[in-house]
Amino acid sequence: MEALKVLVPVVLAISLAACGGGSGGAAAPPPAQTQGIWRGTASVDSVSFTNALAMIDGAGHTNIILQAAGTDDSQFRGTLAASDGAIDTGVSALTLFDTAGNLNDIFSVQQAYVVPASALAATLSSSGSFPRTATLNLTYDNICDRLASLGLVSGIWGGDPRHLYDHTGHRRRRYHQRQRYKRLCVQRHGAHSRSDP
Protein backbone atom coordinates (compact mmCIF):
# COMPACT_ATOMS: atom_id res chain seq x y z
CA MET A 1 0.00 0.00 0.00
CA GLU A 2 2.89 2.37 0.79
CA ALA A 3 4.41 1.68 -2.64
CA LEU A 4 1.10 2.60 -4.29
CA LYS A 5 1.01 5.93 -2.41
CA VAL A 6 4.45 6.78 -3.80
CA LEU A 7 3.79 5.43 -7.29
CA VAL A 8 0.56 7.37 -7.98
CA PRO A 9 2.11 10.88 -7.56
CA VAL A 10 5.12 9.86 -9.69
CA VAL A 11 2.90 8.55 -12.52
CA LEU A 12 0.73 11.68 -12.31
CA ALA A 13 3.79 13.96 -12.50
CA ILE A 14 5.17 12.10 -15.51
CA SER A 15 1.78 12.25 -17.25
CA LEU A 16 1.49 15.99 -16.72
CA ALA A 17 5.04 16.59 -17.93
CA ALA A 18 4.40 14.52 -21.05
CA CYS A 19 1.45 16.68 -22.09
CA GLY A 20 3.08 20.01 -21.37
CA GLY A 21 2.05 20.39 -17.75
CA GLY A 22 -1.65 19.80 -18.24
CA SER A 23 -2.40 23.39 -19.22
CA GLY A 24 -4.92 22.98 -22.03
CA GLY A 25 -4.52 21.38 -25.45
CA ALA A 26 -4.33 17.76 -26.40
CA ALA A 27 -1.13 15.74 -26.46
CA ALA A 28 0.62 15.63 -29.82
CA PRO A 29 0.01 12.49 -31.89
CA PRO A 30 2.95 10.09 -32.19
CA PRO A 31 5.11 10.66 -35.27
CA ALA A 32 4.46 8.50 -38.32
CA GLN A 33 6.76 5.52 -38.74
CA THR A 34 8.05 6.94 -42.02
CA GLN A 35 8.54 10.50 -40.75
CA GLY A 36 11.97 12.06 -40.94
CA ILE A 37 14.93 12.59 -43.22
CA TRP A 38 16.15 9.51 -45.11
CA ARG A 39 19.22 9.07 -47.34
CA GLY A 40 20.29 6.28 -49.64
CA THR A 41 19.96 5.05 -53.20
CA ALA A 42 17.17 4.60 -55.71
CA SER A 43 16.63 3.33 -59.22
CA VAL A 44 14.12 3.99 -61.96
CA ASP A 45 14.21 1.40 -64.74
CA SER A 46 17.91 1.03 -65.58
CA VAL A 47 18.98 4.38 -64.10
CA SER A 48 20.63 4.21 -60.67
CA PHE A 49 20.53 7.27 -58.44
CA THR A 50 23.42 7.14 -56.00
CA ASN A 51 22.11 10.04 -53.93
CA ALA A 52 18.49 9.92 -52.80
CA LEU A 53 17.30 12.36 -50.13
CA ALA A 54 13.79 11.76 -48.76
CA MET A 55 11.85 14.16 -46.56
CA ILE A 56 8.67 12.68 -45.08
CA ASP A 57 6.35 14.56 -42.74
CA GLY A 58 4.07 13.22 -40.01
CA ALA A 59 1.20 12.57 -42.43
CA GLY A 60 3.41 10.58 -44.79
CA HIS A 61 3.71 13.35 -47.40
CA THR A 62 6.92 12.54 -49.23
CA ASN A 63 9.44 14.42 -51.33
CA ILE A 64 12.47 12.47 -52.61
CA ILE A 65 15.26 14.20 -54.54
CA LEU A 66 17.13 11.80 -56.85
CA GLN A 67 20.64 12.64 -58.07
CA ALA A 68 23.32 10.76 -60.01
CA ALA A 69 26.39 11.76 -61.95
CA GLY A 70 25.76 11.96 -65.67
CA THR A 71 21.95 11.99 -65.43
CA ASP A 72 19.31 14.63 -64.94
CA ASP A 73 18.02 15.01 -61.40
CA SER A 74 14.53 13.71 -60.76
CA GLN A 75 12.05 13.90 -57.94
CA PHE A 76 9.40 11.64 -56.41
CA ARG A 77 6.47 13.29 -54.66
CA GLY A 78 3.54 11.60 -53.00
CA THR A 79 2.72 9.59 -49.88
CA LEU A 80 4.50 6.84 -47.97
CA ALA A 81 2.34 5.94 -44.99
CA ALA A 82 3.07 3.01 -42.69
CA SER A 83 1.80 1.14 -39.67
CA ASP A 84 3.33 -1.80 -37.81
CA GLY A 85 6.45 -1.71 -39.96
CA ALA A 86 4.63 -2.11 -43.28
CA ILE A 87 4.04 0.56 -45.90
CA ASP A 88 0.32 0.89 -46.58
CA THR A 89 0.13 -0.01 -50.28
CA GLY A 90 -3.50 1.09 -50.43
CA VAL A 91 -2.69 4.78 -49.91
CA SER A 92 1.01 5.02 -50.77
CA ALA A 93 2.03 6.18 -54.23
CA LEU A 94 4.76 8.36 -55.69
CA THR A 95 4.72 10.58 -58.76
CA LEU A 96 7.98 10.96 -60.69
CA PHE A 97 8.87 14.43 -62.00
CA ASP A 98 11.78 15.33 -64.27
CA THR A 99 14.27 18.19 -63.79
CA ALA A 100 11.92 20.73 -65.37
CA GLY A 101 9.07 19.70 -63.05
CA ASN A 102 7.12 17.85 -65.72
CA LEU A 103 5.08 14.79 -64.77
CA ASN A 104 6.98 11.69 -65.82
CA ASP A 105 5.01 8.75 -64.40
CA ILE A 106 2.93 7.57 -61.43
CA PHE A 107 4.22 4.65 -59.36
CA SER A 108 2.31 2.53 -56.87
CA VAL A 109 4.03 0.73 -54.03
CA GLN A 110 4.17 -3.03 -54.61
CA GLN A 111 6.31 -4.17 -51.68
CA ALA A 112 7.86 -2.14 -48.89
CA TYR A 113 8.91 -2.16 -45.28
CA VAL A 114 10.05 0.39 -42.76
CA VAL A 115 11.94 0.04 -39.50
CA PRO A 116 11.22 3.38 -37.78
CA ALA A 117 14.31 5.58 -37.44
CA SER A 118 16.42 2.91 -39.17
CA ALA A 119 15.63 1.66 -42.69
CA LEU A 120 13.04 2.04 -45.43
CA ALA A 121 12.91 -0.01 -48.64
CA ALA A 122 10.31 -0.15 -51.39
CA THR A 123 9.64 -1.62 -54.82
CA LEU A 124 7.32 0.42 -57.02
CA SER A 125 5.80 0.02 -60.46
CA SER A 126 3.81 2.10 -62.91
CA SER A 127 0.71 0.82 -64.65
CA GLY A 128 0.92 2.62 -67.98
CA SER A 129 1.16 1.02 -71.40
CA PHE A 130 4.91 0.66 -70.80
CA PRO A 131 5.23 -0.58 -67.20
CA ARG A 132 8.23 0.72 -65.31
CA THR A 133 9.85 -0.23 -62.02
CA ALA A 134 11.57 1.74 -59.30
CA THR A 135 13.28 0.88 -56.02
CA LEU A 136 14.16 2.79 -52.86
CA ASN A 137 16.80 1.76 -50.31
CA LEU A 138 17.02 4.40 -47.61
CA THR A 139 18.62 4.78 -44.20
CA TYR A 140 17.33 7.13 -41.51
CA ASP A 141 19.28 10.36 -40.98
CA ASN A 142 19.07 11.50 -37.35
CA ILE A 143 19.49 15.20 -38.19
CA CYS A 144 16.08 15.88 -36.62
CA ASP A 145 16.66 13.79 -33.51
CA ARG A 146 17.22 16.75 -31.26
CA LEU A 147 14.83 19.21 -29.72
CA ALA A 148 13.84 22.12 -31.89
CA SER A 149 14.98 25.58 -30.81
CA LEU A 150 12.83 28.66 -31.20
CA GLY A 151 16.02 30.71 -30.98
CA LEU A 152 17.11 29.48 -34.41
CA VAL A 153 13.97 30.67 -36.19
CA SER A 154 12.65 33.52 -34.03
CA GLY A 155 12.98 37.15 -35.03
CA ILE A 156 11.91 39.40 -37.84
CA TRP A 157 13.17 38.28 -41.22
CA GLY A 158 13.52 40.35 -44.36
CA GLY A 159 15.55 41.03 -47.45
CA ASP A 160 16.27 38.97 -50.52
CA PRO A 161 14.84 35.45 -49.93
CA ARG A 162 18.08 33.94 -51.21
CA HIS A 163 20.13 35.81 -48.59
CA LEU A 164 17.94 36.37 -45.56
CA TYR A 165 18.89 38.77 -42.78
CA ASP A 166 17.57 38.76 -39.24
CA HIS A 167 16.27 41.87 -37.46
CA THR A 168 19.81 42.87 -36.38
CA GLY A 169 21.11 42.86 -39.96
CA HIS A 170 23.15 39.68 -39.60
CA ARG A 171 23.11 37.51 -42.68
CA ARG A 172 21.61 34.05 -42.19
CA ARG A 173 22.90 32.26 -45.28
CA ARG A 174 21.98 28.77 -44.25
CA TYR A 175 18.46 29.69 -43.14
CA HIS A 176 16.89 29.18 -46.55
CA GLN A 177 18.77 25.89 -47.07
CA ARG A 178 17.67 24.40 -43.75
CA GLN A 179 14.15 25.85 -43.65
CA ARG A 180 12.45 22.64 -44.79
CA TYR A 181 14.54 20.52 -42.42
CA LYS A 182 13.56 22.74 -39.48
CA ARG A 183 9.86 22.52 -40.32
CA LEU A 184 10.10 18.74 -40.24
CA CYS A 185 12.07 18.84 -36.96
CA VAL A 186 9.59 21.22 -35.32
CA GLN A 187 6.69 19.08 -36.56
CA ARG A 188 8.33 15.96 -35.18
CA HIS A 189 9.47 17.28 -31.80
CA GLY A 190 7.43 20.42 -31.24
CA ALA A 191 8.81 23.87 -30.50
CA HIS A 192 10.89 24.34 -27.37
CA SER A 193 12.09 27.64 -26.02
CA ARG A 194 15.47 26.41 -24.82
CA SER A 195 18.65 27.10 -26.79
CA ASP A 196 20.45 24.42 -28.73
CA PRO A 197 23.36 22.76 -26.95
| pLDDT for 197 | 42
In-domain check, residue 74: yes
127 with 150, same domain: the answer is no
Q: Are residues 49 and 126 in the same domain?
A: yes
Residue 88, exposed/middle/buried by CB under 10 A (0-12, 13-18, 19+)?
A: middle
State the residue range of the domain holding 115: 36-142
**In a domain? residue 94:** yes
Specify the higher pLDDT residue, 166 or 77.
77
Residue 155: the pLDDT is 67
Residue 120 sits in the same domain as residue 105: yes
Identify whether residues 47 and 107 lie together within a single domain: yes
Q: Which residue has the higher pLDDT, 147 or 192?
A: 147
**Is the same domain home to 118 and 134?**
yes
Residues 135 and 151 both lie in one domain: no
- On whether residue 26 sits in a domain, the answer given is no
Could you tell me the CATH number of the domain that includes residue 69?
2.40.128.20
Which residues, at least 6 apart from 188, have a Cβ–Cβ distance to it below 8 Å?
31, 35, 36, 58, 144
Overall number of domains in the chain: 2
Does residue 45 lie within any of the structural domains?
yes
Domain match, 47 and 97 both:
yes
Distance CA 57, CA 31 (A): 9
Under DSSP, the state recorded for 146 is S
3 state DSSP class of 72: coil
* pLDDT for residue 181: 59
Number of Cβ within 10 Å of residue 140's Cβ equals 22
Task: Verify that 135 and 40 share a domain, yes or no.
Answer: yes
Alpha-carbon gap, residue 70 to 51, rounded angstroms: 12
* 21 is a domain residue: no
| pTM, 2 dp | 0.61
- Asked if residue 183 has pLDDT above 80, the reply is no
Confidence of residue 61 (pLDDT cuts 50, 70, 90): very high
Residues 137 and 162 in one domain: no
Same domain membership, residue 162 and residue 78? no
Split at pLDDT 50, 70, 90, the class of 1 is: very low
Per DSSP, 34 falls in state T
pLDDT value of position 186: 66
Which is more confident, 88 or 43? Answer: 43
User: Residue 31 falls within a domain, yes or no?
Assistant: no
> Does residue 79 sit in the same domain as residue 172?
no
For residue 36, the tally of other CB atoms under 10 A from its CB is 25
Instruction: Please check whether residue 99 lies inside any domain of the structure.
Output: yes
Task: Looking at the structure, tell me whether residues 107 and 181 fall in a common domain.
Answer: no
Please indicate, yes or no, if residue 83 is contained in any of the structural domains. Answer: yes
| 171 confidence band (pLDDT: 50, 70, 90) | low
